[in-house]
């Protein structure tokens, strides 16, 4: 947050004409020789040049002042008519050279062939005053050669969700692409929301999203699949030089800049992608985020959360939950499976770059880097969520496993439960603490059960339970027992309460973009009222803070949203 504030305090532009474009992607990589914009297979090219489709009546709905500051754009400029025209696709600035990228991917575990930017158009890359490169991409701006049978447009419903979630994830501290703006097009778009034959006209919209790069695992897969090794190498060399040249971590070889990069450097790069991916997924698990469609074409090589489609937050803790209707049967992309799917996707990226390395063992070792990194980061994350100094595996693994079993036994709101857990103090009278064996083997400790105290222990968490009648005597006793184990573990660390609570509050958000909140904003927006979008945007700027005026957004999902479309399950339709 301090960094974003410093950015906002730096000098900013009052006109878009001051933006400096540096379009290295199209300058350094091979492009499509066909200039006509029609659906087709594109070979030997990383992109196709294409212009956005103009819209009839663009209207700015909202913008992110933090994302604008990354581009050195002032809030005054964001409110200008020129801004609306440019980021709806109606006007191109000098220096813009729009294109759609070519990539493939595995979807739901199967090779899907050529995919590409079917409803996204990259306007160009700018270099800001801190010499950071940002790619500007508008989503919903019309058809491209990669649109297949679709129209390349986007509806307001999905655009609101992408805009809000991109910025919410940033403020949660999760690696993500960003959203600059959302603009209504003034046109209607026909969609079948659940692919069940019920076509409906919906308001159209365009989101501008930004990232240092939108390169995905699938960008490499398509050229490996086609055995186009020359283009594969050009793309990987370019990616390392542009997006990883300033990396100063373990793989110092990534600082090398030569005409011909080596197989060793490719391995180092892949290891770094593995580390970044592990870090990203751990952060998803920390806040209960479910991406919903972890296809390889939706995986960023920078370890950024990308492509917000049928995502959702775990509300009642269910490790098998997926928000994606397309995945409802197999549940491949369910919450608990995200770490394994990320590993599988990385294996597909390893297969894609294998022709440049021709040695399986270092790629397998790199994949082991992912597993090790995920384990270490997950343990560190759980220590922070539970208020421990460090994660002590011999004790905390059992403690954590038992907690998640308990959360899944009854419908327990994950966000509320962990936030309330921060209020527990081993020195307080709230919990009855028994004497424990001196060997610290908490899992084998025995306790005297006090039924009255056990019920009182759960009072702190009652707001987290969706169906209080599920709290049987056996469950209450088991949860009370876990709380005793937990408080004894806190006592061992002996962290002062305020320090422990502050640590936990920074790991456990009070506010997340629950699906029903997003749907309320969408309902209003479709009636021309954008106030809820602005209110949520402001709320989610401070997800870890106690916002007394916004307590209504920190409660569990209401019953009316349990099965309502857009609140419980979503599709890829946009």
**How does the average pLDDT of the chain come out, rounded?**
90
**Per-residue pLDDT, 231:** 98
**Per-residue pLDDT, 428:** 55
**Per-residue pLDDT, 358:** 94
Q: Please write the tens of the pLDDT for every residue from 449-466.
A: 344 556 667 889 999 999
Q: Please write the tens of the pLDDT for every residue from 78-120.
A: 999 999 999 999 999 999 999 999 999 999 999 999 999 999 9
Token pair belonging to 164: 């809000």
DSSP 404-436: HHHHHHTTBBHHHHHHHHTT--TTSSSS-----
Give mean pLDDT, residues 502-522. 97
Active site residue 307: no
For 101-132, the three-class secondary structure string (H helix, E strand, C coil) is ECCEEEECCEEEEECCCCCEEEEEEEECCCCC
Whether the CB-CB separation of 272 and 249 falls below 8 Å is answered with yes
* For residue 14, pLDDT beyond 70: no
First and final C-alpha spacing in the chain:
31
Nearest Cα to Cα of residue 184 among 78, 57, 90, 75: 57
Whether the CB-CB separation of 533 and 525 falls below 8 Å is answered with yes
**Per-residue pLDDT, 571:** 64
For residues 305-330, one letter each, b for 16 or more C-beta atoms within 10 angstroms of the residue's C-beta and e for the rest, the string is: bbbbbbbbbbbbbbeebbbbbbbeee
Rounded alpha-carbon distances, angstroms, from residue 416 to 91, 236, 553 = 45, 43, 11
Q: Please write the tens of the pLDDT for every residue from 289-307.
A: 999 999 999 999 999 999 9
**Per-residue pLDDT, 451:** 46
**Per-residue pLDDT, 429:** 45
Q: In sequence order, what are the residues at sequence separation of 6 or more whose Cβ sits closer than 8 angstroms to the Cβ of residue 522?
A: 156, 157, 160, 161, 566
DSSP 473-499: HHHHHHHHHHHHHHHHHHHHHT--HHH
Q: Please write the tens of the pLDDT for every residue from 28-43.
A: 999 999 999 999 999 9
Whether the CB-CB separation of 493 and 440 falls below 8 Å is answered with no
**Per-residue pLDDT, 450:** 45
Whether the CB-CB separation of 255 and 245 falls below 8 Å is answered with yes
Give residue 573's pLDDT band: very low, low, confident or very high (50, 70, 90).
low
Q: Give φ, ψ of 348 to 5 degrees.
A: -70, -35
Q: Please write the tens of the pLDDT for every residue from 249-269.
A: 434 445 544 545 789 999 999
Nearest Cα to Cα of residue 217 among 304, 308, 282, 290: 304
10/128 Cα distance (integer angstroms):
11
* For residue 313, pLDDT beyond 70: yes
The 10 Å Cβ neighbour count of residue 92 is: 15
DSSP 296-354: GGG-BTT--B---SS-EE-SB--TT---BGGGTTT-TT-GGGHHHHHHHHHHHHHHHHG
Catalytic residue among 297, 327, 413, 425: 297
**Per-residue pLDDT, 6:** 45
Beta strands 47-49 and 99-101: pairing type? antiparallel
* For residue 333, pLDDT beyond 50: yes
**Per-residue pLDDT, 564:** 83
Whether the CB-CB separation of 287 and 313 falls below 8 Å is answered with yes
Give residue 281's pLDDT band: very low, low, confident or very high (50, 70, 90).
very high
Give residue 13's pLDDT band: very low, low, confident or very high (50, 70, 90).
low
Whether the CB-CB separation of 206 and 178 falls below 8 Å is answered with no
Nearest Cα to Cα of residue 291 among 138, 150, 175: 175
402/205 Cα distance (integer angstroms):
45
* For residue 531, pLDDT beyond 70: yes
């Amino acid at each position: 947050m301090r960094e974003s504030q410093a950015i906002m305090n730096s000098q900013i532009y009052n006109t878009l004409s001051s933006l400096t474009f540096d379009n290295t992607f199209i300058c350094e990589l091979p492009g499509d020789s066909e200039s006509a914009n029609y659906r087709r297979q594109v070979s030997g090219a990383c992109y196709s040049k294409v212009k956005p489709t103009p819209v009839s009546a663009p209207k700015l709905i909202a913008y992110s002042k933090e994302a604008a500051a990354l581009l050195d754009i002032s809030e005054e400029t964001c409110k200008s008519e020129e801004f609306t025209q440019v980021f709806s696709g109606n006007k191109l600035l000098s220096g813009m050279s729009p294109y759609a990228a070519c990539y493939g991917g595995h979807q739901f575990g199967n090779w899907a062939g050529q995919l590409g930017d079917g409803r996204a158009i990259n306007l160009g890359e700018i270099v800001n005053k801190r010499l950071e490169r940002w790619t500007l991409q508008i989503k919903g701006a019309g058809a491209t050669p990669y649109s297949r049978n679709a129209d390349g447009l986007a509806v307001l419903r999905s655009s609101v969700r992408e805009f809000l979630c991109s910025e919410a994830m940033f403020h949660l501290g999760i690696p993500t692409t960003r959203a600059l703006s959302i603009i209504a097009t003034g046109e209607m778009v026909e969609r079948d929301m659940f692919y069940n034959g019920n076509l409906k006209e919906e308001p159209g919209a365009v989101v501008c999203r930004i990232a240092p790069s939108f390169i995905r695992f699938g960008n490499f897969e398509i050229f490996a699949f086609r055995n186009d090794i020359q283009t594969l190498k050009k793309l990987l060399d370019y990616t390392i030089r542009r997006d990883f040249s300033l990396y100063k971590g373990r793989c110092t070889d990534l600082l090398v800049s030569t005409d011909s990069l080596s197989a060793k450097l490719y391995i180092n790069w892949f290891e770094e992608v593995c580390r970044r991916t592990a870090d990203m997924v751990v952060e998803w698990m920390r806040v209960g985020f479910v991406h919903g469609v972890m296809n390889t074409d939706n995986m960023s090589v920078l370890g950024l959360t990308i492509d917000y489609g049928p995502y959702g937050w775990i509300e009642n803790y269910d490790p098998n939950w997926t928000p994606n209707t397309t995945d409802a049967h197999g549940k491949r992309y369910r919450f608990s499976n995200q770490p394994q799917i990320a590993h599988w996707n990385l294996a597909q990226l390893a297969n894609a770059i294998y022709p440049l390395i021709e040695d399986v063992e270092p790629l397998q070792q790199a994949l082991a880097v992912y597993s090790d990194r995920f384990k270490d980061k997950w343990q560190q994350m759980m220590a922070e969520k539970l208020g421990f100094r460090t994660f002590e595996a011999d004790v905390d693994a059992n403690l954590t496993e038992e907690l998640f079993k308990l959360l899944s036994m009854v419908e327990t709101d994950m966000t509320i439960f962990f936030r309330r857990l921060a209020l527990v103090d081993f020195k307080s009278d709230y919990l009855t603490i028994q004497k424990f064996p001196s060997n610290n083997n908490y899992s084998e400790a025995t306790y005297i059960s006090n039924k009255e105290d056990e019920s009182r222990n759960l009072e702190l968490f009652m707001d987290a339970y969706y169906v209080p009648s599920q709290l049987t005597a056996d469950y209450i006793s088991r949860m009370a027992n876990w709380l005793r184990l937990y408080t004894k573990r806190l006592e061992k660390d002996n962290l002062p309460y305020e320090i422990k609570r502050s640590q936990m509050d920074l790991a456990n958000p009070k506010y997340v973009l629950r699906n029903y909140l997003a749907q309320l904003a969408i309902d209003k927006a479709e009636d021309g009222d954008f106030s809820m979008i602005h209110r949520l945007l402001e709320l989610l700027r401070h997800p870890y803070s106690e916002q007394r005026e916004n307590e209504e957004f920190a409660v569990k999902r209401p019953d009316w949203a349990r099965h309502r479309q857009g609140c419980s399950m979503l599709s890829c339709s946009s």
